[in-house]
Amino acid sequence: MTRALNILQIVPSISLVYGGPSQMVRGLSSALARQDARVTVLTTDSNGDEGQAPLDVPLNQPVETDGYRTLYFRCAPFRRYKFSLPLLQWLSRHGKDYDIAHIHALFSPVTSVAATVARSQKLPYILRPLGTLDPADLAKKKQVKRLYATLLERPNLKGAAALHFTSQQEATVSERFGVNTQDIVLPLGVALPEFTDSEADAQRHIRQRYGIPDGVPVVLFMSRIDPKKGLDLLLPALESLRHSGKPFHLIVSGANPQDQGYVNQIQQRIETSVLKECTTLTGFVSGGLKAQILQAADLFVLPSYYENFGIAVAEAMMAGKPVVISDQVHIWCDIKTSHSGWVTQCDQTALALALTEALHNPADRRQRGENGRLFAQVNYGWDAIAARMIDTYRQLLA
């Protein structure tokens, strides 16, 4: 009988305010546990980067959750950068007890040093870049990142057992700083909030809650409020539709614990535009409310400038919603081949045309949404992905 693997997942934070990366680690850890792996998540108590209170969790002791255990450590002394000396000290003492570490994030001090510690202990590790090796992301603070890469990330890339990319496009465009790497391409899984209401009840509740008239299509943006998400394309595109008389209601669900200033800019832009009367900003949502908003949507949109996977898109597909995305959301090929929505360039006019077509054809929306649901169930289910991940871990260790 094959021995169960003892696996570390290391991530700066698993607070859901950070969106996809946190969801992914939670979902993967739970699914790996269902495959009989012993999983420990090392993380910090970070819960936002601009003065928010830390997570209210026990520190330095295991917390059992969904078949795996999580160890939270105080985020200090550099809270803004989610650093934790106690986490690294724990890893230095106990890393040798594990078969492999899966490290989520580059250019984050705690994970960068964690990879260095793993190398010192000869603990094999996989790095998941989270899109940070995309040239568009590297262009931000370019000189600082080049220095950081030279000192820390290049040795980490060189010493990694593999790099984990979530799409082939992410692997293709990613910078390696002159290092030859072994790549694995595995998508993320989707664990939807439980739908406790029927779709009709959820739609009725959300329309009443936010004052949306019956018969008006609901366009949903549900993601982190960040410049890379393409809101500077989406808002003017929808303004042009509004000026043309096309009825719709926009729901913007999301926050940004690292940049409240940008969130305020978006709110101000909407408040002073023709979208004011047909837009609801919900802030960050989770659980039952998130499920109801997904059920109530007629169309999901994410015109990002770069997105290494797009877990929010996969969630919308799993919920049976057609999607409008840019061709820089790296699962766009899945959308195109499965006829699950509309794919457009990062261009305001092209986005407006795609939205117009989608809003004009309710029957087509429904069919594409059902196509997406079927595709996501087969390709983005956590249990199938976890089984492939276990095989990957064993191959790397062999």
Computed on alpha carbons and rounded to an integer, the radius of gyration of the chain in Å comes to 21
Q: Do 206 and 281 fall within a single domain?
A: yes
Residue 342 maps to a domain:
yes
Beta bridge partners of 325: 302, 343
Q: Do 158 and 255 fall within a single domain?
A: no
Residue 387 maps to a domain:
yes
Closest CA to 216 of 275, 140, 297: 297
Residue 397 burial (C-beta neighbours within 10 Å; 0-12, 13-18, 19+): exposed
CATH number at residue 69: 3.40.50.2000
Residue 271 maps to a domain:
yes
Q: Do 253 and 371 fall within a single domain?
A: yes
Pairing of strands 323-326, 341-344: parallel
Predicted TM-score (pTM) of this structure = 0.80
Residue 1 maps to a domain:
no
Q: Do 336 and 388 fall within a single domain?
A: no
* Residue 357 pLDDT grade (very low, low, confident, very high; cuts 50, 70, 90): very high
Q: Do 155 and 203 fall within a single domain?
A: no
Q: Which of 49-63, 177-191, 292-306, 374-388 has the highest mean pLDDT?
A: 292-306
Q: Do 76 and 162 fall within a single domain?
A: yes
Average pLDDT over residues 351-372: 97
User: Over the stretch 101-121, which tens digit does the pLDDT of each residue have?
Assistant: 999 999 999 999 999 999 999
Rounded Cα distance between 76 and 83, Å, is: 6
Q: Do 90 and 12 fall within a single domain?
A: yes
Residue 194 maps to a domain:
no
Q: Do 272 and 389 fall within a single domain?
A: no
pLDDT at 78: 64
Q: Please give the C-alpha separations between residue 138 and each of 109, 129, 144, 148, in angstroms, as whole numbers.
A: 16, 12, 10, 11
Residue 392 maps to a domain:
yes
> Above pLDDT 70, what percent of the chain?
97
pLDDT at 195: 79
Residue 254 maps to a domain:
yes
CB 310 within 8 A of CB 331: yes
Q: Do 252 and 231 fall within a single domain?
A: yes
Residue bearing the bigger pLDDT, 252 or 24: 252
User: Over the stretch 127-150, which tens digit does the pLDDT of each residue have?
Assistant: 999 988 988 889 888 899 889 988
Residue 12 maps to a domain:
yes
User: Over the stretch 235-278, which tens digit does the pLDDT of each residue have?
Assistant: 999 999 999 999 999 999 999 988 899 999 999 999 999 999 99
Looking at every residue in the chain, the average pLDDT score rounds to 92
Count of structural domains, the chain: 2
Range of the domain at 214: 199-379
> Above pLDDT 90, what percent of the chain?
76
User: Over the stretch 202-218, which tens digit does the pLDDT of each residue have?
Assistant: 999 999 999 999 999 99
Q: Do 168 and 210 fall within a single domain?
A: no
Q: Do 218 and 113 fall within a single domain?
A: no
Q: Do 313 and 221 fall within a single domain?
A: yes
